[in-house]
Chain A
Amino acid sequence: MAVIAVVAVTQALVAAVPDADAILKQAFDNYRAGSSSTSVAMTVHRTDWERHLDLRAWTRGQDDALVRFVAPAKDAGNATLKLGRDTWVFNPKLNAVIKLPASMMSQSWMGSDFSYNDLAKSDDIITEYTHRLLATDQAGGHTVWTIEAIPKPGAPVVWGKVALTIRDDYVVTEETFFDQDLKPARRMQTDRIATLDGRPYPVTMTMHPLDAPDQWTRIDTSDGRFNVSVPEYFFTLSNLQNPRQ
């Protein structure tokens, strides 16, 4: 009886004064779930051109991901597989799988404003940073938390600081990346939140590199299923090169 009471009190306290680590973890779980399967339209905007790409993405746990481009024809078939810390790319024209050297991980991914690092180290924000709740505000009928993430000493990350705002339904609404001099370098904004497979989800997000005002990459997630069983063979090199339908 006493134990139950203590647990209840503790839970109440946790709910009242949320912990930055827990918020972030929850937001990440909401975004990625145990596994996920999504359809994404990506728009890469540049001063003199704009490209639209369609892709399918599958994730498993926190570490594994497979992304396959399906349109336009010029890019269809290109695929990226991430297993743990390793990343491979498949190019249909070459019909070859290439393992990305570590030195290339900061390069642009498919000409977008995302780097391979964004793909590969997506849960770094949880594991490699310490988190602090900076502010709790009310906006649009929601509680919005502002969390500051500072890399742990010696963490293998490129940013000096990351600032996030997260809504009380655990959707990240804004994420700003600061360089080592703590100057803001790029900002990911959530433009639209909708219900996807029963959960609130940032269906439209835009990445803005802050040194190039007329340049951005937008991703629209149109179809998503979470905690579905993705077959084991999905996350293999042979499936990367020869996809089974």
Chain B
Amino acid sequence: MLLALAWRNLWRRPQRTLLSLLSMAIAAALLVFMLSFQLGVYATMKESTLRIVDGYAQFQPDGYAADPGLDRTIAHPEVLLADAISIQGVTTAAPRLNGFAILANGERSFGASVVGVDPAPERKASSIASMIRNGRYLDATDGDAAVLGASLARNLQLAVGGKVTLLGAARDGSVAADVLRVVGIYHSGIPELDRSILEMPLSRAQDTFAMTGRVSTIALVGASLGAVNRALPALGSLARRNGVSLLDWGALEPALRDALTLKYATTALLYLTLVAVVAFIILNTLLMSVLERTREFGMLLAVGMQPRLIGGMVWLELLALALAGCAIGLAIGAAITAWFEYRGILFPGMGDLLAQFGLPPQLYPTLTPLSAFIGPGAILLSVVIGGVVPYLRVMHLTAASAMRSP
């Protein structure tokens, strides 16, 4: 009864109701799209950044993150590697040896990280294999092969087929020295990476750095960051059993995590403003309609309708309006998002900038239940709570004075 009354009341002024609906729908649609876009881009950003070298999580020797060095190692990692990929959500475990050496070619020399990798899992764990610009990536049969970043190769004046001399300190304090053949040059677009990392086969690196049977870290990758994050408890207990540390993505890339947290906080402010503005517009409109109907409410009171019921009716009007507006907004927002999720959004001329953040030139929003419902939900909630104001106003009416109002 009350609901039917409320619904009919709304359509006594169709123009006003339609405008209210429209403003709510637009705000809700905007929120759905913006949140989906933001979450989608952040997920891409996280995954593509982590996929370059870190992986979605890592096993490290205790204390390695604070003080990396060849004296902190994971010895005989074979069982740990096999156990890790048997965990649901983890598809690849890539062992690595992280050394440091002077790389030289004739007169030229530069310091660089030398990473020993197992080519097969490394191809799946890191996107460096897909960034090879000249030559090829390492493969299982390689011995004295190396791939290095484009800037490093240019600084050393090395091309594919050239020889690079490596001189550093081995784990036992002796001199680590080797001569490697350049088989590939990668270009990631990230300057720091392109000038500082050389990859070589793990077994050869273990010989060179006196690290036989030992690795520095194990990078873990799954179908998605979410899948690996869900596997963290199982990975954590595996790490404890093996006396190593497990680092999640935030621990591997604290700067990225902090940047995203800051970004969430600032955009949340924007979303809150949008929700608040819409909520106030709707409340204002309804309060107007309540004031206009003071005489009418006085009449209803005079014929014996309880103030509680009148307040309830007004509140239901608001609820119906908000529900309809948010539903329309949700539908429009979801449709737009789905379209761009399929098509992608191209940012012309921003490819290089995006590449620095490890992003592809085409960005995709991701529609998830969270990104779809949180915006409209917030509007609905704030309007429903704000509805207390017209409700209280109605409760304070008395028949005599209300009927005398103009």
Q: Which chain A residues have a beta carbon within 8 Å of chain B's beta carbons?
A: 44, 46-49, 51, 74-75, 78, 89, 91, 93-94, 96, 98-101, 103-104, 107-108, 110-112
Provide the B59-71 mask, 1 if CB < 8 A to any CB of A, else 0: 0000000000001
Q: Which of A74, A94, A111 contacts B169 (CB 8 A)?
A: A111
Q: Which of A47, A78, A100, A112 contacts B102 (CB 8 A)?
A: A100
The answer, yes or no, to whether B109 is at the interface (CB within 8 Å) is yes
Closest 9 CB pairs of A and B: A111-B173, A98-B104, A104-B111, A91-B177, A93-B177, A111-B169, A51-B173, A94-B177, A103-B111
Q: Which of A44, A51, A107, A108 contacts B111 (CB 8 A)?
A: A107
Residues of B within 8 A of A46 (CB): 71, 173
Is B173 within 8 A of A96, CB to CB? no
The answer, yes or no, to whether B26 is at the interface (CB within 8 Å) is no
Residues of B within 8 A of A49 (CB): 172-173
A74-B174, A75-B174 given; A98·B167 CB < 8 A: yes
Residues of A within 8 A of B347 (CB): none
Is B173 within 8 A of A44, CB to CB? yes
Q: Which chain B residues have a beta carbon within 8 Å of chain A's beta carbons?
A: 71, 100, 102, 104, 107, 109-111, 165, 167, 169-170, 172-175, 177-179
Is A75 within 8 A of B175, CB to CB? yes
Residues of A within 8 A of B110 (CB): 101, 103
Q: Report the bound CA distance from A35 to B73 in whole Å.
A: 43
Apart from A49-B172, A51-B172, A94-B177, list 10 A-B contacts with CB within 8 A.
A48-B71, A49-B173, A75-B175, A91-B177, A98-B104, A99-B109, A101-B109, A107-B169, A110-B173, A111-B174
Residues of B within 8 A of A51 (CB): 172-174
For the A-B complex, the count of residue pairs with Cβ-Cβ distances under 8 Å equals 60
Residues of A within 8 A of B167 (CB): 89, 91, 94, 98
Distance to closest chain B CB from A67 (angstroms): 13
A46-B71, A94-B165, A108-B169 given; A99·B107 CB < 8 A: yes
Q: Report the bound CA distance from A108 to B69 in whole Å.
A: 12
Q: Report the bound CA distance from A93 to B168 in whole Å.
A: 13
Distance to closest chain A CB from B154 (angstroms): 15
Distance to closest chain B CB from A98 (angstroms): 4
What are 24 pairs between A and B in contact, CB < 8 Å?
A: A46-B71, A46-B173, A49-B173, A75-B174, A91-B167, A91-B177, A93-B175, A94-B167, A94-B177, A98-B167, A99-B107, A99-B109, A100-B109, A101-B102, A101-B110, A101-B111, A104-B109, A104-B111, A107-B100, A110-B173, A110-B175, A111-B172, A111-B173, A111-B175
Residue on B nearest A98 in the bound complex, by CB: B104
Residue on B nearest A74 in the bound complex, by CB: B174
Residues of A within 8 A of B111 (CB): 101, 103-104, 107
Secondary structure dominating the interface of A: loop
Residues of B within 8 A of A44 (CB): 173
Q: Report the bound CA distance from A71 to B51 in whole Å.
A: 45
Residues of B within 8 A of A101 (CB): 102, 109-111
Residues of A within 8 A of B102 (CB): 98, 100-101, 104
Distance to closest chain B CB from A174 (angstroms): 25
Residues of A within 8 A of B165 (CB): 94, 96, 98
Residues of A within 8 A of B174 (CB): 51, 74-75, 111
Distance to closest chain B CB from A49 (angstroms): 6
Q: Which of B170, B173, B179 has the most CB of A within 10 A?
A: B173
Residue on A nearest B168 in the bound complex, by CB: A107
A46-B71, A89-B167, A104-B102 given; A98·B173 CB < 8 A: no
Q: Report the bound CA distance from A145 to B175 in whole Å.
A: 39
Residue on B nearest A49 in the bound complex, by CB: B172
Q: Report the bound CA distance from A107 to B32 in whole Å.
A: 53
Q: Report the bound CA distance from A96 to B102 in whole Å.
A: 13
Q: Report the bound CA distance from A99 to B165 in whole Å.
A: 12
Q: Report the bound CA distance from A107 to B165 in whole Å.
A: 17
Distance to closest chain A CB from B110 (angstroms): 5
Distance to closest chain B CB from A147 (angstroms): 32
Residue on B nearest A103 in the bound complex, by CB: B111
Is A91 within 8 A of B172, CB to CB? no
Residue on A nearest B174 in the bound complex, by CB: A74
Q: Report the bound CA distance from A113 to B172 in whole Å.
A: 14
Residues of A within 8 A of B100 (CB): 107
Q: Report the bound CA distance from A91 to B175 in whole Å.
A: 8
Distance to closest chain B CB from A104 (angstroms): 5
Q: Report the bound CA distance from A42 to B83 in whole Å.
A: 43
Q: Report the bound CA distance from A75 to B169 in whole Å.
A: 11
Q: Report the bound CA distance from A78 to B176 in whole Å.
A: 11
Q: Report the bound CA distance from A94 to B109 in whole Å.
A: 15
Residue on A nearest B166 in the bound complex, by CB: A94
Q: Report the bound CA distance from A89 to B71 in whole Å.
A: 24
Q: Report the bound CA distance from A100 to B174 in whole Å.
A: 18
Q: Report the bound CA distance from A48 to B175 in whole Å.
A: 18
